[in-house]
Amino acid sequence: MRGWLCWPLLCLLSLACARENPPVEHAVDERPAPVLARVGDSVFRRDRLEALLQETGRTLSREEISSLLMDWVESQIFAQESLNRHLGRTATEREELKRTRLKLLKGFLQESVLAESLLVEDWEMRNWMRDHSEELVLAEGRVRVLWYQATDSSLAEGLRSAVLMDTLKQEALGAEGVDHGRSGWISLERFQRETSGILEQLEPRELTPLLKRDERWVFYQLLSHQPAGQSLSLPDDEEEIRARVLEDLRLDRLAAFERRLVQGADWSMSLDSLLLPGESGQEFQP
């Protein structure tokens, strides 16, 4: 999907399409403004573009107008598809979807498309790693740790001694004033700040000294350390790599679905009326 040209302009465009135009008296022989884009029975006419540009004070090139109209076409197609998929919702929900269809309906559509589970085969993961080797290089170092904290220093020291001697019992972790947990990957820079640079002296499974944090005492046990410049690899980082591959597969599935949806829809677009006989120049303004 292309990025939107201008979010404020597109929001106004969506609102203009959602509300009904008030009746306007025309001369009997006055023809309607030329149609710039059509999706089924919905049309976007030149006078609507003129009103939109007057309201925003913008001047757009033909390429920018084409991109903007294509966003309108896609939003109309996705909105209708999403409504079709969610007709079982309550009347209130359907009204809410209609009012905010450019944003919400596309989100519901994505959820529907991506709802099916995807499996990542080992060969897919290896191929992805080969094609995305640069993305596997860590821009900054990171660590994973176990952390323990207590409300007073003697309690924290007892915890630390038990962890150090590998005699820690589950009952101690459930005691009042004690908390503990396991971190995901956290920034090495952040961890260095929290431990005053003690990491440089630690090996995996070693403990930091007791550190005062507000009204609590805390210490960390280093689980693993990956320095900046190291590449993710199998099997150590399989879970993280698999998640990245899965996300790319989901995005590919969504993009393919959107292409099929647009290609199979009843729509058309023409900018012929933007440059009438006798006009010149590449920009259009009301």
Closest CA to 243 of 135, 83, 139: 135
How confident is the model at residue 133, as a pLDDT?
92
How confident is the model at residue 286, as a pLDDT?
45
How confident is the model at residue 277, as a pLDDT?
43
Three-state DSSP at 89 gives: coil
List, in order, residues 6 or more apart from 66 with CB less than 8 Å away.
269, 271
DSSP 165: T
Task: Give, for all 286 residues of the chain, the pLDDT tens digit.
Answer: 444 444 445 454 555 554 444 554 545 447 787 888 888 778 888 887 787 777 777 777 777 777 777 877 877 777 776 666 655 556 666 565 555 544 544 554 455 545 556 678 888 889 999 999 999 999 999 999 999 999 888 888 988 988 888 888 887 787 788 888 888 898 888 888 878 777 767 788 888 888 888 888 999 999 888 989 999 998 889 989 988 888 888 777 766 666 666 666 666 767 666 654 444 444 445 4
How confident is the model at residue 3, as a pLDDT?
46
Closest CA to 145 of 116, 188, 99: 188
Give the H or E element holding residue 150. Answer: strand 142-150
| Vertex 72: Cα angle to 70 and 74 (nearest 5) | 70
Ordered structural domains, the chain, with CATH = 7-22+30-115+260-284 (no CATH), 138-226 (3.10.50.40)
Residue 178: phi, psi to the nearest 5?
-110, 140
| Residue 152 near residue 210 (C-beta atoms within 8 A) | no
Find out whether the peptide bond into 235 is cis, omega within 30 degrees of 0. Answer: yes
List, in order, residues 6 or more apart from 39 with CB less than 8 Å away.
73, 76, 77, 80, 265, 266, 267
**pTM metric for this prediction:** 0.48
Q: How far from the centroid of its chain's Cα atoms is residue 171's Cα?
A: 42
Which tokens hold the place of 150?
């207590």
How confident is the model at residue 142, as a pLDDT?
92
